[in-house]
């Protein structure tokens, strides 16, 4: 059984930055085990799980093992803590030459030669190794049992259609759900496959698109963060009464921070800025929108609230307390040599404070030194907000007299 009230877990995208989510989940599992003891294994804390891009992979792995939350978190953490880039994309010289070098040639002056030779490079990197990893990490064949056992209410992953231009939420649920459709947003209830996860995590330009069939029509899909104007919407439509949202960047960056370099921006800087717009901005905007709705509803009398379909949503947002770009800058040397050489061509290089293009590289840094540091940060940020977490889940009532461990004031209504 999943816990009540129906709680959604919302995991954002961000490539290798999704390691932060795993650290948060580890800390939650530890807190929950400490409070509930053996009872923790009987209930799943999240009845609705929604994920985008790399967050979709983490979401599906959790949902497929919803009957044992702690074990699911352990299995995900084991992969992320021992990550190497070759588990996600071809990082050897031959693989990089076949994809990245050819792609860069086509988009530069060599496009004429590429056209003449009918070369059709699909992406900067070849992510074929990811398919094998997904089949080991995400046992989707267990989902029907999770629904039947009422360990899970719904799993949703998102992808963007290059064919139609629409943003899709693909979901599976224990019961039929009324579909929703908004401007350029479509919801489809269907059995989920590893192809949906490959599509959701296909970072534009970096990884190739994935072909999916929807209502008998075939189309090409890419990363779910593209055109995702309302990341929280699937959880709301799937019936969540409250939600835990885990971001992949600081929600409020300090004002007036310096940008790298003073000259014309490199392709890596422009690419990093574009990636932030795709992966990070929509979530912050949607959280702000929800806060405004909550404040507005709080001002309405009861009879007026009864006449509106809107309802206040209790939510807890956990996001990095440090800039992940800065952490990535310390680990650029962990990238495979062939990938470093490829990224150097677009302006990624250096180390520490002198590093360039770290924002772009952070999405591809599937290497243990980087992912382990992000996991540690996620765990530390969660433990630092101990009281808020306990209040959100109602665990504080089970531990009377527990010493306050957080200096932060609770702020979980958004």
pLDDT for the residue 345? 76
316 bridge partner residues = 244
DSSP string, 50-81: EEETHHHHHHHHHHHTTT-HHHHHHHHHHHHH
- Rounded distance, CA 94 to CA 156, Å? 36
* H/E run at residue 103: helix 102-107
Angle at the Cα of 46 (from 32 to 237), degrees rounded to 5?
155
Q: Where do we find the tokens 């269907």?
A: 190
Q: Is the dihedral of CA 398, 400, 402, 406 positive or negative?
A: positive
Calculated CA dihedral for residues 219, 98, 17, 265, nearest 10 degrees: -100
Other CB atoms within 10 A of residue 52 CB? 33
Res 251: pLDDT: 62
SS3 371: helix
Could you report how far apart the first and last alpha carbons of the chain are, in Å? 27
How confident is the model at residue 125, as a pLDDT? 87
C-alpha closest to that of 10 among 186, 155, 172: 155
Determine the pLDDT at residue 102.
Answer: 52
CA pair distance 273, 11, nearest whole angstrom: 21
**Cα separation of 180 and 188, whole Å?**
9
CA distances from 248 to 3, 281, 306, 319, 405 (A): 26, 10, 36, 6, 24
Closest to 89 (Cα-Cα) out of 65, 124, 114: 124
Place of tokens 């599906």: 60
Q: Show pLDDT as tens, one digit a residue, over the chain (414 residues).
A: 777 899 999 999 889 999 999 999 999 999 998 888 877 777 889 999 999 999 999 999 999 999 999 999 999 999 999 999 999 998 776 666 565 555 455 444 454 445 545 556 677 888 999 999 999 999 999 999 999 999 999 999 999 999 999 999 999 999 999 999 888 899 999 999 999 999 999 998 889 999 999 988 999 999 998 888 889 999 999 999 999 999 877 665 554 444 555 677 877 788 887 877 777 778 888 888 888 888 888 888 887 877 887 888 889 999 999 999 999 999 999 999 888 888 887 788 877 666 788 888 999 999 999 999 999 999 999 999 999 999 999 987 766 444 444 434 333 333
CA distance 232 to 408: 24
Surface-to-core class of residue 380, CB atoms within 10 Å of its CB (0-12 exposed, 13-18 middle, 19+ buried)? middle
What is the C-alpha to C-alpha distance for residues 121 and 408, in angstroms, rounded to an integer? Answer: 50
State if pTM tops 0.75: yes
């Amino acid at each position: 059984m999943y816990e009540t009230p129906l709680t959604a877990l919302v995991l954002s995208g961000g490539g290798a930055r999704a390691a932060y989510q795993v650290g948060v989940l580890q800390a939650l599992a530890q807190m929950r085990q400490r409070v509930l003891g053996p009872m923790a294994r009987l209930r799943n804390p999240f009845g609705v799980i929604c994920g985008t891009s790399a967050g979709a992979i983490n979401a599906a792995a959790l949902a497929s093992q919803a009957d044992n939350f702690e074990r699911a978190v352990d299995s995900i953490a084991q992969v992320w803590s021992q990550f190497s880039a070759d588990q996600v994309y071809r990082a050897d010289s031959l693989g990089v030459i076949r994809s990245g070098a050819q792609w860069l040639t086509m988009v530069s002056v060599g496009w004429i030669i590429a056209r003449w030779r009918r070369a059709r490079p699909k992406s900067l990197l070849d992510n074929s190794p990811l398919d094998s990893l997904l089949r080991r990490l995400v046992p989707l064949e267990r989902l029907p049992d999770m629904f039947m056992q009422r360990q899970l209410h719904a799993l949703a992953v998102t992808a963007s259609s290059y064919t139609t231009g629409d943003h899709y939420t693909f979901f599976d649920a224990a019961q039929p759900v009324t579909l929703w459709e908004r401007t350029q947003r479509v919801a489809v209830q269907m059995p989920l496959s590893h192809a949906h996860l490959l599509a959701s995590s296909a970072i534009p330009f970096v990884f190739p698109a994935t072909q999916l069939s929807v209502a008998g029509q075939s189309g090409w899909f890419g990363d779910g963060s593209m055109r995702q104007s309302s990341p929280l919407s699937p959880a709301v439509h799937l019936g969540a009464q409250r939600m835990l949202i885990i971001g992949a960047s600081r929600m409020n960056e300090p004002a007036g921070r310096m940008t790298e370099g003073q000259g014309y921006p490199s392709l890596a800087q422009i690419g990093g800025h574009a990636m932030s717009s795709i992966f990070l901005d929509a979530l912050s905007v949607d959280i702000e929108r929800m806060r405004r709705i909550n404040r507005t509803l709080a001002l309405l009398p009861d009879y007026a609230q009864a006449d509106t379909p809107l309802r206040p949503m209790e939510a807890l947002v956990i996001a990095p307390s440090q800039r992940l770009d800065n952490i990535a800058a310390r680990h650029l040397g962990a990238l495979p040599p062939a990938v470093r050489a490829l990224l150097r061509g677009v302006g990624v290089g250096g180390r520490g404070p002198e590093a360039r293009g770290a924002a772009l590289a952070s999405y591809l840094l599937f290497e243990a030194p980087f992912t382990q540091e992000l996991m540690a940060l996620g765990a530390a940020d969660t433990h630092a907000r101990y009281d808020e977490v306990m209040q959100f889940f109602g665990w504080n009532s089970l531990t009377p007299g527990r010493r306050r461990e957080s200096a932060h004031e609770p702020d979980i209504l958004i």
